[in-house]
Amino acid sequence: MRTKVAIIGSGPAGLLLGRLLENAGIETVILERRSQEYVLGRIRAGVLEQGTVELLDRAGVGDKLHAEGLVHDGVEFCFDGNRHRFNFRELIGRTVTVYGQTEVTRDLMQARDSSGLTTIYEAENVSLHAFDGDAPKLRYVKDGVEHQLACDFIAGCDGYHGVSRASVPQDALRTFERVYPFGWLGILVDRPPVADELIYAHHERGFALCSMRSPSRSRYYIQVPSSDRVEEWSDQRFFDELRRRVNEETADKLLTGPSIEKSIAPLRSFVAEPLRFGRLFLAGDAAHIVPPTGAKGLNLAASDVAALAEALIEVYTERSSAGIDSYSARVLSRIWKAERFSWWMTSILHTFPDTDAFGRRIQRAEFEYLRSSTAASRSLAENYTGLPL
Ligand code: FAD
Ligand code: DHB
């Protein structure tokens, strides 16, 4: 089999890249290790930056998002019980949209299926070959039979644990990493959300986040030590802990119910440099990880592939390599700004095991400054709603 761009991974990065290239008449094949049902069963990110919404619109997959997505003008911070709302629309004229990653993935999969494009699910043992030359190839096993896929370019959109970054010679890659000593325990529940907008809460006992997926479905998170296991957290224990970390009014309003999903996500900051190796490009979580606090993971994946699609389209339509030559530097500049913001949000909102009394006062001062300064509030608004590429 042969295609122009072989994409590894059918997460949001791979699917959106496939869609953007399809719209420019460029053929792609996606190889995905898991089944379609498995990919759609993962509960992950929930907040789309305005630029991501615009990009999905341009890609022609924005209808359901506009019908069902919830446009939020701002978010709230709750610091030791004191709430403050940041109104992004008033501060900078921008908004975010709450629409789950699962839905974005489903919309992109449906669009790809109805265009009759090839996605090979349950492709095992994917391996990358000759991407430092002009004729890269992928090999994979499907239903016990080995196959080869020849292509012009390979897009490594296979997430943090994927094979693409692992196939790059060690000495060609530099990585930067910070692992946090806690994770987020998330719960999905079919009850109306506790507030109209998201509440990011800092408390001595740890961080908490009140989010949502729809007017009748809530998503809540609490910070837990990395060593905790999901089985240790009954729904009752989760909600008792969440109530302690938010202000009294929020705690009283919280509607609880049986969880329909519960999982712990580790927190990590990670960046690989560069993101191009001959005819292989890395994008999304294959290239970088952010802690979820700034809601940037999915949005970064989207902006990476927007730049990559532009660059590849330039190759095919203008026979110019300028875009692919500058891809890595261009996206890394934005990636590092999102890394900075996610690290900063994580630092001010979580309780770190080694934070002393001085550190806590600094966190409180940061919150007081944020809420009293229009400049600081605008900076938060600008970063949260998404910086330009
Ligand atoms: P992925 O969505 O990881 O997609 C990669 C795809 O590649 C997967 O489908 C995988 O099965 C496939 N793949 C992997 N290896 C291979 C292989 N060898 N061969 C073929 N296919 C392969 N972000 C937030 O902003 N908020 C959150 O609450 C949040 N929660 C998260 C929870 C978890 C458990 C994780 C892992 C991430 C979370 N994120 C969150 C981050 C966000 O979901 C990611 O940034 C986003 O999914 C990145 O999209 P992607 O397409 O780059 O990678
Ligand atoms: C959600 C996840 C985030 O990481 C975040 O910052 C906001 C919301 C969510 O899953 O709803």
User: What's the pLDDT tens digit per position in 130-152?
Assistant: 999 999 999 999 999 999 999 99
What is the tens place of the pLDDT at every residue in 192-233?
Answer: 999 999 999 999 999 999 999 999 999 999 999 999 999 999
Alpha helices in the chain (DSSP H): 12-23, 36-41, 50-58, 63-68, 88-92, 101-114, 235-245, 248-253, 297-318, 322-349, 357-372, 374-385
Residue from 237, 17, 176 nearest 112 by CA: 17
Is a pLDDT exceeding 90 seen at residue 12? yes
Number of H helices, E strands in the chain: 12, 20
Is-catalytic flag, 72? yes
Lookup: tokens for 197: 């907008």
User: Could you tell me if the CB of 31 is within 6 A of ligand 1?
Assistant: yes
Phi, psi at 9, each rounded to 5°? 105, 125
Atom index in ligand 2 nearest the CA of residue 212 equals: 11
Catalytic residue among 12, 72, 193, 291: 72
Residue from 69, 67, 91 nearest 384 by CA: 91
Residue found by looking up tokens 């095992």 in the block: 124
Give the H or E element holding residue 219. strand 217-225
Phi, psi at 65, each rounded to 5°? -60, -40
User: Could you tell me if the CB of 101 is within 6 A of ligand 1?
Assistant: yes
Q: Which residues contact ligand 2 via a Cβ below 6 A? A: 45-47, 198, 209, 211, 219, 292-293, 295
Quote the ligand 2 centre to 135 CA distance (angstroms). Answer: 41
Whether the CB-CB separation of 192 and 70 falls below 8 Å is answered with: no
Give the 3-state secondary structure of residue 54: helix
Is a pLDDT exceeding 90 seen at residue 249? yes
Quote the ligand 1 centre to 168 CA distance (angstroms). Answer: 20
Whether the CB-CB separation of 304 and 287 falls below 8 Å is answered with: yes
Is-catalytic flag, 384? yes
Report the DSSP beta bridge partners of residue 99.
Answer: none
Gap between the Cα atoms of 76 and 84, Å rounded: 5
Compute CA distances 111 → 84, 88, 295, whole Å.
40, 32, 25
What is the tens place of the pLDDT at every residue in 16-75?
Answer: 999 999 999 999 999 999 999 999 999 899 999 999 999 999 999 999 999 999 999 999
User: Could you tell me if the CB of 9 is within 6 A of ligand 1?
Assistant: yes
Is a pLDDT exceeding 90 seen at residue 378? yes
Whether the CB-CB separation of 100 and 139 falls below 8 Å is answered with: no
Looking at residue 2, what DSSP letter applies? B
- How much is the CA Rg of the chain, to the nearest whole Å? 21
pLDDT of residue 389: 81
Gap between the Cα atoms of 259 and 191, Å rounded: 10
Compute CA distances 59 → 107, 112, 126, 129, 296, whole Å.
11, 11, 28, 30, 20
DSSP string, 114-149: HTT-EEETT-EEEEEE-TTSSS-EEEEEETTEEEEE
Quote the ligand 2 centre to 46 CA distance (angstroms). Answer: 5
pLDDT of residue 369: 97
Give the 3-state secondary structure of residue 252: helix
Report the DSSP beta bridge partners of residue 268.
Answer: 179
Quote the ligand 2 centre to 110 CA distance (angstroms). Answer: 24
Catalytic residue among 99, 140, 200, 327: 200
Quote the ligand 2 centre to 387 CA distance (angstroms). Answer: 18
CA within 13 Å, CB half, 357: 0
Gap between the Cα atoms of 293 and 350, Å rounded: 9
Give the 3-state secondary structure of residue 298: helix
- How much is the mean pLDDT over the chain? 97
Alpha helices in 93-204 (DSSP H): 101-114
Is a pLDDT exceeding 90 seen at residue 242? yes
Rounded to an integer, the average pLDDT of 162-183 is: 97
Domains in the chain, ordered, with CATH?
5-71+97-177+268-346 (3.50.50.60), 180-267+351-385 (3.30.9.10)
Is-catalytic flag, 388? no
Lookup: tokens for 226: 């990395």
CA within 13 Å, CB half, 335: 28
